[in-house]
Structure 1
C-alpha cells in the first residue's frame, strides 16, 4: 500500500519541492495551500490531492485532513511547512502583526498537528515533521517575533516527541539555513519606522547580512531531500540540519557556546 504525506504550504518553495519529490517516489501526496484554485503544476500529477488549508482557519484544516483520509485511506506523514518571517524593531509592530506571526508559525502548526493526532494514535504509527530553521537555534537582530516562533517550534516538537512516542508516532525537526525560495521576498515581512533613528543603521546591516546569506542559499529541493530522509530513515532522530550554511552556523554555536557565539554575532553587527 502506498504511503501518504500531507504537506502544508505546498504552493511554492520547500512545500512544492517536497510534494514533487514524494510523488516521484511513489507516495500519495495531499498538497495543501490557501489558494488551490491558483495551482497549475501539482494538479497535473497522479496521486496528488490539492486541498484548501489555511493554518489560520481551523475548519479548513479538518476538512483537508478528512479529505485526504477519505481519498487515500491513511495518512502516514504530516509535514508542517507553512510559515513566514516577521522582522523589525519590536516597538513598531502592531499587536495584530505580533499575533499573526505566532498564529501562523506556532498556533497553526499546533492546530494542524492536533487534527491529525487521533488518526495517528488510532493507527499507532505516523511521523510529524516540523520545518523549523536555524532561526530556532540562533538569532539575528530584529527577529524577536520570527525567532521566537521558531524557538517555540523547537520546544513544541521536542516535548511532543515524548507524549506521542508512547503510541508509535515520531516527531522530526528540519532546520534549514538560507534557502533559495521566496522567503526573502513575500515570506519576509519587514516592519520599520524610519522616524526612529536609533534602529536605522542596524536595520541596514541586517538587510545586508540577509542579502549575503541568500546569495549563498541552498535549493528548496535540498531541503526536500532532507525531509524525505527524515520520513524514511526509520530512526528516532529528532533534528535534521539542511544546508551547508546551517551546518557551519549551528556547529559554531555548539563549539563556541552561547556567550561567545552571541558576542561574535554582536561584533559582526557592530553592537560591541
Structure 2
C-alpha cells in the first residue's frame, strides 16, 4: 500500500494514517525520511527558500509524529525513526540551512525520546554519512536562485557535491535499510545511531572540537557564576 502525503498538510497526513490503520489494523513504525538538501550560503538563501527547507525537513516531521503518537500511546508500543544526518551534528560552509534543519531535528528527537519512553515508544535518530542515493540529483538537492559569487568556498562546495561526490558516496542504502529494520526489532533501541565510516569520522571530529573548545575557555566559563 502506498499513499501520497503532503507533509505540510495535516489533513493529508491524517487521511494516510487512517487508511494505513484501516488496511493493516495498526501502525507500529514511523520512518521520517522525507526531506531535501540545500547547498547555499546564509546570505544567498532567501527567506522563502529557507522556510521551504524547514517546512519539509522539520515541520513535516513534527506533523507526522504528532498525528501518529496517540495511536502509538493507545497501543503501548511504537518506534519512531527520524532520519537525520551526521550533518545534524556538524556543519560547514554552504550547508547552514540544511544542517540547521537537521540540528533542529536532533533537538526535537532528543526531547521526544524522553517524553514518550514511558509509553513503550522508542525514538531513534539515524545519522548517516554520505549515502549513494539520488539525494544529490534533481529535485532532491537545491541551490539558491540568487547566488552571491564572492563566496568561492561555497561555490566549490556546490560543484564538488553535484559533480564529484554524487554517485561516489560510501554509504550503501540497502545496508542502511537493513540496519533500520534490525533496530526496529529491539525492545530498547538506542536513541541515536551513526551509519557509515565517514559519519563516525566527522562525529569524532566534532567531539574533539567541542572538547578542545570547552577546555580552552574553561577559565572564562567558570568565572561567570556568582561568587560563593
Give the TM-score range, shorter chain.
0.7 to 0.9
User: Is there any run of 5+ residues in structure 1 with no aligned partner, and where?
Assistant: 1-48, 262-272
Over residues 52-96 of structure 1, what are the superposed CA-to-partner deviations in whole Å (9 max), with x where a residue is unaligned? 212122211001100000011011110000001112122222222
User: How far off is 1:159 after superposition?
Assistant: 0.2
Aligned pair partner of 1:202 in 140, 145, 153: 153
Matched residues in 2 for 1:185 and 1:150: separation? Answer: 19
Which residue matches 2:198? 245
Which residue matches 1:149? 101
Matched residues in 2 for 1:139 and 1:209: separation? Answer: 16
Which residue matches 1:230? 183
Q: Residue 161 in 1 paired to residue 113 in 2?
A: yes
3-state SS of the aligned residue for 2:3? strand
Q: Structure 1 residues 154 and 84, CA, compared in 2 at 3 Å: closer, same or farther?
A: same
User: Is there any run of 5+ residues in structure 2 with no aligned partner, and where?
Assistant: 214-228
Matched residues in 2 for 1:71 and 1:180: separation? Answer: 33
Over residues 138-184 of structure 1, what are the superposed CA-to-partner deviations in whole Å (9 max), with x where a residue is unaligned? 11212121000000111111100111112111100100111111111
Which residue matches 2:21? 69
Over residues 171-217 of structure 1, what are the superposed CA-to-partner deviations in whole Å (9 max), with x where a residue is unaligned? 001001111111111211111645x3421x11233135535544243
| 1:58-97 map, 5 Å | 58-97=10-49
Which residue matches 1:12? none
Taking CA–CA contacts closer than 8 Å with sequence separation of 6 or more, which of the two structures ends up with the larger relative contact order?
2
Which residue matches 2:126? 174
Matched residues in 2 for 1:205 and 1:260: separation? Answer: 29
Q: Structure 1 residues 250 and 116, CA, compared in 2 at 3 Å: closer, same or farther?
A: same
Q: Residue 220 in 1 paired to residue 173 in 2?
A: yes
| 1:107-122 map, 5 Å | 107-122=59-74
Matched residues in 2 for 1:71 and 1:236: separation? Answer: 27
3-state SS of the aligned residue for 1:191? coil
Q: TM-score, normalised by structure 2?
A: 0.85
